[in-house]
């Protein structure tokens, strides 16, 4: 861990058992409140498993523009710092994932990319195949949990969790299934139901066919997994995908 010697506005690296502790070290060393710090996670932490394998969280920190050491905390924060503050949606996601990964014995890291419309979370590491078992059930479950974190913060952004381009390959697969099944529906003139799917998979089917003038889609069933039925479109007043 580097010291805070030198120019305060230069980036410094700090470590801690978790993200909160690393930020606390940075705040104390730089004499700047946590809310006035911008940080980047360089290394996700990992708790020890059976006494081995512990790894601390390491972050690179610099103060917000215009903030210097010992300066009182201010209420005016830029859009970037709001997204990165621990109380924001991105900060909440970062804290959750840091705690989740540090408490597991698996070597996984994550990266968050955010823009005005979506939050993309990419997971990678030596144990990433564990997330891809059983057709990515772990990724789907993680997306549902993090989706609730985003919703709790009142965000309307689209959340996507991916690992090794799994989502991209899944999207291509779902679009192919939707198009081929729609062709069968048009040919036979009868509804066709697909296998039970999670919300993300169902959304891909609905979106793939929402602009097709000859078919429409609906979700059937209760619970987390539901079947998507593709059926001939009747009339002109039922455009767009059905509920997911």
Q: pLDDT digit string (tens) for 172-183?
A: 889 999 999 999
Q: Which CATH superfamily is domain 12-164 in?
A: K homology (KH) domain (3.30.300.20)
- Closest by CA to 112, choosing from 93, 128, 133, is 93
For the chain, residues classed under CATH 3.30.300.20 are 12-164
**In the chain, ranges of CATH 3.30.1370.50 domains:** 167-232
Superfamily covering domain 167-232:
R3H-like domain (3.30.1370.50)
Mean pLDDT (the chain) is 75
Residue 183 neighbours by CB under 8 Å, 6+ apart: none
Annotate the chain with DSSP letters as a single string: ---S-S-TTS-EEEEESSHHHHHHHHHHHHT--GGGEEEEEEE--B--BTTB--B-EEEEEEEPTT--TTPPP-S---HHHHHHSTTSHHHHHHHHHHHHHHTSSS--EEEEEE-SSEEEEEEESTTTHHHHHHHHHHHHHHHHHHHHHHHHTT---EEEEEETTHHHHHHHHHHHHHHHHHHHHHHH-S-EEPPPB-HHHHHHHHHHHTT-TTEEEEEESSSS-BEEEEEE--SSS--S----
Share of the chain above pLDDT 70, in %: 77
Give me the pLDDT at residue 197, please: 86
Q: What is the pLDDT of residues 106-120, one digit of tens each?
A: 788 888 888 777 888
**229 confidence band (pLDDT: 50, 70, 90):** very high
Contact 41, 56 (CB under 8 A): no
């Amino acid at each position: 861990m580097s010291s805070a010697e030198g120019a305060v506005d230069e980036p410094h690296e700090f470590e801690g058992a978790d993200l909160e502790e690393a930020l606390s070290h940075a705040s104390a060393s730089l004499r700047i409140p946590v809310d006035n710090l911008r940080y980047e996670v360089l290394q996700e932490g990992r708790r020890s498993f059976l006494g081995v394998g512990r790894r601390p969280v390491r972050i690179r920190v610099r103060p917000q523009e215009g903030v210097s050491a010992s300066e009182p905390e201010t209420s005016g924060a830029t859009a970037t710092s709001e997204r990165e503050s621990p109380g924001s949606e991105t900060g909440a996601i970062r804290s959750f994932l840091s705690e989740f990964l540090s408490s597991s014995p698996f070597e996984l890291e994550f990266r968050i990319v955010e823009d005005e419309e979506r939050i993309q979370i990419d997971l990678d590491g030596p144990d990433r195949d564990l997330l891809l078992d059983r057709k990515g059930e772990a990724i789907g479950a993680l997306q549902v949990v993090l989706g609730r974190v985003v919703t709790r913060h009142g965000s309307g952004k689209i959340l996507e969790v991916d690992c090794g381009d799994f989502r991209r390959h899944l999207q291509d697969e779902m679009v192919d299934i939707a198009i081929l099944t729609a062709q069968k529906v048009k040919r036979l003139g009868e509804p066709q139901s697909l296998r039970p799917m999670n919300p993300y998979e169902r959304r891909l089917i609905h979106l793939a066919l929402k602009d097709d003038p000859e078919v429409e889609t609906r979700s059937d069933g209760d619970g987390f997994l539901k079947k998507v039925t593709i059926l001939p479109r009747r009339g002109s007043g039922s455009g767009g995908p059905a509920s997911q």
